[in-house]
Structure 1
Amino acid sequence: MTGWRLLLTRPSEDCAALAAILAESAVFSSSLPLLEIQALPVTEAQRATALQLEAYCAVIVVSKPAAHLGLDLLRQYCPQLPRQGWFTVGAATAQILEDAGVQVSYPAQGDDSEALLELPRLREAILRPDPRVLIVRGEGGRELLSERLRGLGASVDYLELYRRCLPHYAEAALPQRIAGERLNGLVVSSGQGFSHLRQLAGAAWPQLAKMPLFVPSPRVADMARAAGAEKVVDCRGASAAALLTALREQPVPVL
């Protein structure tokens, strides 16, 4: 896959991990983190949710920050975590919970909301009368997941623990990075990551919209196309493996 030169936009720690994996496959990358995780102050509502954790038939943790912050909060108010169904969208988030002794289910194929919703164990968990599901997340996001769960008869509550902010960059930082390092592909890991990419691009967006854009799900692909992105590649997952598979299937642009 030599020839790809990608811009990575995840939080800085995730960018570093992804860059190392890409380098092993001879893929050049440059990191410009567009998501900065800021923990939210703990509220009475959050405490109340933690204290009634056993009322939920399923707990869905949607990201690595949600897993870290969720464990920190829940251990304060619920030292022995109930053994109800715990679910994640992908393996990396599941590993954080498993390391803490939590048994987790996640889709083996595809790390997105659509794949999780097809997971038989999740479907079984919400078959009980008046099922309640808790989604542990940042502010906003995964609306498709909650909508579909409600459509299946479950009530859905949120435990929102962080917000995703756009770090401060100079106005032309994005196009300058792309031009200076001769990058030929863009990678985003979420809808908010794409929104921040579009925001930082500013007046340069029409030009950047012509570049291949690798996204993690159909939902983010639809967002990008609606904003004018011309070459959107749905990786059907945010993992390094999903990205590498997509890269193998795409021709390297000729600059």
Structure 2
Amino acid sequence: MNGWRLLLTRPADENTALTATLAEAGIFSSAFPLLEIEAMPVSVAQRSQVLGLDQYCAVIVVSKPAARLGLDLIRRFWPQPPLQGWFSVGAATAQILESHGLSVTCPAVGDDSEALLQMPQLRAAINRPDARVLIMRGEGGRELLSERLTELGASVEYLELYRRSLPEYPAGALSHEIREHRLNGLVVSSGQGFEHLRQLAGEDWPQLSRMALFVPSPRVAEMAKATGARNVVDCRGASAAALLAALREYPAPAL
């Protein structure tokens, strides 16, 4: 497993933790953030959603930034968040919420919308005539959650808390990073992370598309394959544990 030399593309603070975890397992990694998190100003509509938080039968938090920023916003209006059903897509997001006294349900396997939608606890929470669900997220994304919950009879609203942008890099910086550190694998944690990878690669994408690409879900795997990626590994989760499991299963190519 320690033959892998990986490019990590998460936001800078998340790369730091993942780099340390991989190093403990003997895996070299190079941090190259392709997502920058920018908190959005709070609108009148968002303020109203938070003030009426107890009117939702379920609150779904889809990412760690959404958890942190959402809790900061909620604390402005609620000494203690309401205790309706709280759900998260991944365990790391759940840990942030639980550290603030919330009881959170998340999938035991698979850090994705599909796994969450299969959970009986979520279906039980929305099994009522007037079911309202609030999804805390960044700008755009996770449309599958809204579509499926609506099909199940729930009314879904979004509380969008941040934007994700591509940090500025000089031309050729991505390929230079890969060559400089003799990397043999690319890791993305979201669909937008992959889109930024593809965008920054530019004319070098045909060459980079031959590298092993570790992705968090079947949806992102399909996105990557549609652009010509030839060696896509679905980790079925964005956590460090999911990545490590995939690295154990797939041998590193010879350098």
TM-score (norm 1): 0.98
**In the TM superposition, what are the counterparts of 1:124-139 in structure 2 within 5 Å?**
124-139=124-139
Q: Deviations over 1:199-222 (max 9, x none)?
A: 110110010001010000011111
> Separation in 1 of the partners of 2:132 and 2:124?
13
In structure 1, give the amino acid aligned to 2:109: Q
2:205 aligned with 1:210: no
Aligned to 1:221: 221
Q: Deviations over 1:152-179 (max 9, x none)?
A: 1111100000001111111110000001
> Separation in 1 of the partners of 2:60 and 2:70?
11
Q: Deviations over 1:114-140 (max 9, x none)?
A: 111111111100101121110000000
TM-score (norm 2): 0.98
**In the TM superposition, what are the counterparts of 1:94-133 in structure 2 within 5 Å?**
94-133=94-133
Aligned to 1:175: 175
Q: Deviations over 1:182-234 (max 9, x none)?
A: 00000000000000100110110010001010000011111111111111110
| Secondary structure of residue in 2 paired with 1:133 | strand
| Secondary structure of residue in 2 paired with 1:67 | helix
| Secondary structure of residue in 2 paired with 1:221 | helix
> Separation in 1 of the partners of 2:238 and 2:12?
15
Structure 1: gaps spanning 5 or more residues: none
**In the TM superposition, what are the counterparts of 1:24-43 in structure 2 within 5 Å?**
24-43=24-43
Q: What is the CA distance between 1:79 and its match in structure 2?
A: 2.5
In structure 1, give the amino acid aligned to 2:106: Y
| Secondary structure of residue in 1 paired with 2:76 | helix
In structure 2, give the amino acid aligned to 1:57: C
| Secondary structure of residue in 2 paired with 1:222 | helix
Aligned to 1:158: 158
> Separation in 2 of the partners of 1:48 and 1:220?
33
In structure 1, give the amino acid aligned to 2:239: S
In structure 2, give the amino acid aligned to 1:172: G
In structure 2, give the amino acid aligned to 1:244: L
Q: Across the two proteins, how many residue pairs are aligned to each other?
A: 255
2:17 aligned with 1:3: no
Aligned to 1:70: 70
Aligned to 1:48: 48
Q: Deviations over 1:81-121 (max 9, x none)?
A: 21110000111111111111111111111111111111111
Identity of aligned residues (%): 71
